[in-house]
Structure 1
Amino acid sequence: MATDAEEDRPLLGRSPSFTGSSKTLNNSDEESYGSIVQGTTRSIEDDVLLETSTLGRTISWPSAYIIVISRVIGSGIFATPGVIVKSVGSVGLSLSLWVVGAVIAACGLAVTLEYGCMLPRSGGEKVYLEFTYRKPRFLASTLVAVQAVLLGFTASNCIIFAQYTLFAFDVEATDFRRKSLAVGLLTAITIVHGCFLRTGIWIQNVLGWIKVGLVVFMVFAGLFVVAFQERNVDGTKSHFPTGEDLWADTNWDWGIIATSLFKVFYSYAGLGNINNVLNEVKNPIRTLKSVSVTSLVSACVLYLLVNIAYFTVIPLEEIRHSKELIAALFFEKSFGPKWGKTVLPLAVALSGAGNVMVVTFALVCTHPHTHSLSANAAKARLNQEIARQGFLPFSKAIASTKPFNAPMGALIVHYIPSLLVIALPPSNEVYSFILEVEGYPGTIFALALSIGLLYLRYKRPDLKRPFKAWTIAPIFRILLSLALLAAPFFPPKEKPAGGIWYATYAVVGVSM
């Protein structure tokens, strides 16, 4: 029978201790959190202690900010606004969902901030779930393993890369071409990260800066077009609807709104990225609080301004038919057929490729020196740790870094579900389907974390909390999560013609 000490020992992400002992929290000040542990320790109770990586604390505030913002700004803002407008019908509801998404993201961030300040060590959700849900012992660890392996795919950004590349070269985007190009990118990145790890890190850093710069450029481009373009036939310079037109053709169906919110959430994913490398952050508690809030505000402002730029430059009817190519349409309208239809869409395609590299690297790559080479390695060690702990077959081979000192086995584990998700669904619906499949189980995790936070406040009031979320934040997150999880039980009034069954995303997400 397992002893209490065995029950307290986590399954994932706990290598043998470098200290040789386990320590408990004392009553010292917030900055020291008692004796700071060097290396990693074995007891779950040690999660309340500050822990310093054996490589030291090397991540400064600017680096921490880049870790978060480069993960948050992905392909979502270049692709989802057109899909959302088509689903909900009106500009007014679409913009409202982006604002609501920011509020929900703030509530979720408040939850992860309280966890991160209370359990100040690397690991993020893995650490929080293991600390909160200890029995049955395998539950939290198994859920983390399943999510990382089966739902950690990067297919959505591969699809965006394919769409924008074909658009830039004026090639007809057939089903075969889209999927072939997406699979080609996924394969190339797997080879680069599996055989040339340092080169891959350098490439993804360059592409990350291109991505952030492109979003800022789009905001100023929208202002430039409004200021200098010729007037429309109605005498206005802007296509942005006003008055009753703002809410015309709104679809208030909850199932449609829920799937649209999943797409908004996708664009805010990654706000808790710094929680995954807290052992390597200088002044971790202070940095965690300031970087997370700054990143949320940055993303919210940029997303709203980019959406307004879209609606200002592009007629609404064209937006509804743009699908994932709304950014390409924006550039073409703003800068003409040469730069607008070729160069700038290629920049969006490269941004999508960069995000695939970042997420792939973050999910599967582990290397003793990679943290100093790339700020994007925030979820490093996860898939390999899952293999090391015996959750996968052929664990020794998957966890190995031979022969190129890179995690080829873990990359293949990541490659297979991503390949299937790209290849199997109908091509015209694959992007939206991927975001919905990712969003539904993600909501289950958000629900578990929010309930767990309230449980710990009741059960463990002794834990030090340098940041304490307003109680309304986890409660609101719980209520909204329940509403989103119930959305598949509310079928749309208008049945979709052909394609995927409206609740397939929920069935697939829960099954995985």
Structure 2
Amino acid sequence: MADSDEHDDIDNTEAHPLLAAPSLPTQTADKPSKSSEVTALDAAVASSSSPASSSAASVRSVRPYRTFDDDVLPETSTLGRTLSWQSAYILVISRVIGSGIFATPGAILRGVGSPGLALLLWVAGAGVAACGLGIALEYGCMLPRSGGDKVYLEFTYRHPRYLASILIVFVVVFLGFTASNCVVFSQYVLFAVGIEAPSELLRKGLAVGLLTAVTIVHGGFRATGVRIQNVLGWLKVGLVVFMILSGLFVVVFRPKGREAAPTMTLPGLWAGSNWNWGAISTALFKVFYSYTGLENANNVLNEVKDPVRTLRSVTASALVTSCVLYLLINVAYFVVVPLETIANSGELVGALFFQTIFGRRVGGIALSLAIALSAAGNVMVVAFTMARVKQEIARQGLLPYSKLLASNKPFGSPLGGFFVHYIPSFLVIVLPPSAEVYSFILEVEGYPGQFVSIAIAGGLLYLRYTRPDLKRPFRVWIPAVVLKIVLNLSLIAAPFFPPKTPPTSGLFYATYAIVGVSILASAVLFWWVWAVVLPAWGRYTIEEEADELDDGTAITRLVKVPKTELGR
């Protein structure tokens, strides 16, 4: 997947930065008399008054306080580097292994027809996931800073100025929510306690309760929140291992009431295989989604100890762990539950597994608690990382009340980032009136991300040839990047191919894709008005100036500078 950089000799990323620090532009001590602080997402952007004549204004040169090349230097959060290898590993593995592990294997088997082909697709999926991971690793080791895709897009696509920043704001702030696993948690907790037909108010209330509890714990008790999510992550891994061992126990000891032979045998491994490309591609998409999240640690590198080394080892370990666990849990399902039962049942394969081993009542409760545990762990790690990405956006001055949202006061945590993350998540849980609308929102959430992935992968190829001077402790194999781009293009095109059965909602089958593209188009339109039209009309430019909050957090202030003060 990768070849090592011939200059990979970093022993300490803090003592040996990845690139020599660029010289920063010298700024004048006096601030522009007609400059005013602006916010990218301030809905009421006012045009500036006509600038003073050039004869009345002193001409000066104002440049950004930083260059984008600063992003190649490690930056330590004011919270310190408190995330150990274990915590970083849990951030990744708990994001990857979610509640889908109890449903996806059965759906894939039903689609492709044989356990052999299903297992082959899980291995192929791991290979494709490694391609995407390689891209995230090269970027993360080259630009070891919190923010993930935000940092990578801004570093790569510097012109037109601010366009990449505005696009990532729309994708991350408006579409980066934690709702689906909150709802999953609610449904299965209620089922576990015997409430099989809960009211909508109760179901949504419990989902909001989980979201609120996670926000309070992470926002008010940072160290405690990390400990809790570490425990939940290890419990999730332990649960999957327990299920695998349970399947092995059934095969080896054949408890009373079990058939004499396992349902999956080597001679019949490929029996019934469906090699139709449509069925295989649909199954592959499910597999690819199951490996989503391997780049989760890239979002919080300012808080990770020895970020470059940790990132490389944590992500590789998480990929191997998830691949092995996925393969073994599939085998456990196939040897415990009759293949015909899996193929003909609409239930989760995890439900069939637990019911076969523990009985319908105990098995149903065990499954519900297992899914709830997985969902809660996923909510915690996603909220933890996404809050920090949104804090990075606020640090750049791209949100209203950016100083407040970028601060780590009063609890020594990015409480503002959690607040920005909480609002859209809360609305997505509470507002949709039906399951169809909720599902539609989730589909819209994921679609623009495919364009971001293509921009990231294409940008990596661009930097290979335009910035060979950048030190790359990890180098991804170029064919892997091309494969990732092809995959993302296929995912972009997929919604526009008519499905066999029309959507039950009555909507056009590609509606969610059209809405997703419209959101990106809205971001471009907003950028054009905010960064091009209004500055041209008001004869000013939007510049960056350095500032520092009381808690030591470095931020950027976006200011309007009349062109007369720039000598333009």
TM-score normalized by structure 2? 0.71
- Is the CA contact 2:263–2:339 (under 8 Å) kept in the aligned structure 1? no
Q: 1:440 to 1:28 in 2, by over 3 A?
A: closer
Q: Which amino acid aligns with 2:94?
A: S
Q: Could you say which residue in structure 1 is the equivalent of 2:157?
A: 133
Instruction: Give the drift of 1:327.
Output: 2.4
Q: Highest relative contact order (Cα 8 Å, sep 6+), 1 or 2?
A: 2
Q: Which amino acid aligns with 1:459?
A: T
Distance 1:329 1:274 in 2: 34
Structure 2 residue 130 is matched with structure 1 residue 122: no
Structure 2 residue 216 is matched with structure 1 residue 158: no
SS in 2 for 1:494: coil
Structure 2 residue 360 is matched with structure 1 residue 352: no
- Is the CA contact 2:183–2:204 (under 8 Å) kept in the aligned structure 1? yes
Q: Which amino acid aligns with 1:221?
A: S
Q: Paired residue for 2:98, among 74, 77, 99? A: 74
Q: Could you say which residue in structure 1 is the equivalent of 2:545?
A: none
**Structure 2 segments unaligned to the other structure (5+ residues):** 1-6, 25-64, 520-568
Distance 2:407 2:304 in 1: 27
Instruction: Give the drift of 1:448.
Output: 0.9
Q: Which amino acid aligns with 1:287?
A: T
Structure 2 residue 231 is matched with structure 1 residue 206: yes
Q: Which amino acid aligns with 1:98?
A: W
More helix by share: 1
Mapping 1:319-330, distance limit 5 Å: 319=342, 325-330=348-353
Q: 1:332 to 1:129 in 2, by over 3 A?
A: same
Q: Could you say which residue in structure 1 is the equivalent of 2:311?
A: 288
Q: 1:468 to 1:390 in 2, by over 3 A?
A: closer
- Is the CA contact 1:50–1:121 (under 8 Å) kept in the aligned structure 2? yes
- Is the CA contact 1:266–1:439 (under 8 Å) kept in the aligned structure 2? no
Deviates more, 1:499-508 or 1:108-117: 499-508
Q: How many residues align?
A: 464
Distance 1:33 1:81 in 2: 44
Aligned CA RMSD, in angstroms, stands at: 3.6
- Is the CA contact 1:34–1:49 (under 8 Å) kept in the aligned structure 2? yes
Mapping 1:378-389, distance limit 5 Å: 380=388, 382-389=389-396
Q: 1:504 to 1:421 in 2, by over 3 A?
A: farther
Q: Could you say which residue in structure 2 is the equivalent of 1:143?
A: 167
Q: 1:307 to 1:42 in 2, by over 3 A?
A: farther
Distance 1:263 1:344 in 2: 21
Distance 2:108 2:447 in 1: 17
- Is the CA contact 1:211–1:348 (under 8 Å) kept in the aligned structure 2? no
Q: 1:122 to 1:226 in 2, by over 3 A?
A: same
Q: 1:228 to 1:508 in 2, by over 3 A?
A: farther
Instruction: Give the drift of 1:219.
Output: 1.6
Structure 2 residue 288 is matched with structure 1 residue 276: no
SS in 2 for 1:135: coil
- Is the CA contact 2:18–2:73 (under 8 Å) kept in the aligned structure 1? yes
- Is the CA contact 2:115–2:270 (under 8 Å) kept in the aligned structure 1? no
Distance 1:413 1:200 in 2: 18
- Is the CA contact 1:76–1:263 (under 8 Å) kept in the aligned structure 2? no
SS in 2 for 1:247: coil
Deviates more, 1:495-504 or 1:232-241: 232-241
- Which structure's CA Rg is the greater one? 2
Q: Could you say which residue in structure 1 is the equivalent of 2:247?
A: 222
Structure 2 residue 472 is matched with structure 1 residue 447: no
Q: Paired residue for 2:482, among 472, 475, 478? A: 475
Q: 1:464 to 1:410 in 2, by over 3 A?
A: closer
**Structure 1 segments unaligned to the other structure (5+ residues):** 1-26, 365-379
Instruction: Give the drift of 1:213.
Output: 1.3
Instruction: Give the drift of 1:287.
Output: 3.3
Distance 2:358 2:329 in 1: 16
Instruction: Give the drift of 1:253.
Output: 2.8
SS in 2 for 1:253: helix
Instruction: Give the drift of 1:454.
Output: 0.9
Q: Could you say which residue in structure 2 is the equivalent of 1:247?
A: 273
Q: Could you say which residue in structure 2 is the equivalent of 1:312?
A: 335
- Is the CA contact 1:82–1:323 (under 8 Å) kept in the aligned structure 2? no
Q: Paired residue for 1:100, among 124, 140, 150? A: 124
- Is the CA contact 2:186–2:204 (under 8 Å) kept in the aligned structure 1? yes
Distance 1:324 1:410 in 2: 38
Q: 1:64 to 1:194 in 2, by over 3 A?
A: closer
Deviates more, 1:126-135 or 1:276-285: 276-285
Q: Paired residue for 1:413, among 412, 416, 420? A: 420
Q: 1:343 to 1:231 in 2, by over 3 A?
A: closer
Q: Could you say which residue in structure 1 is the equivalent of 2:555?
A: none
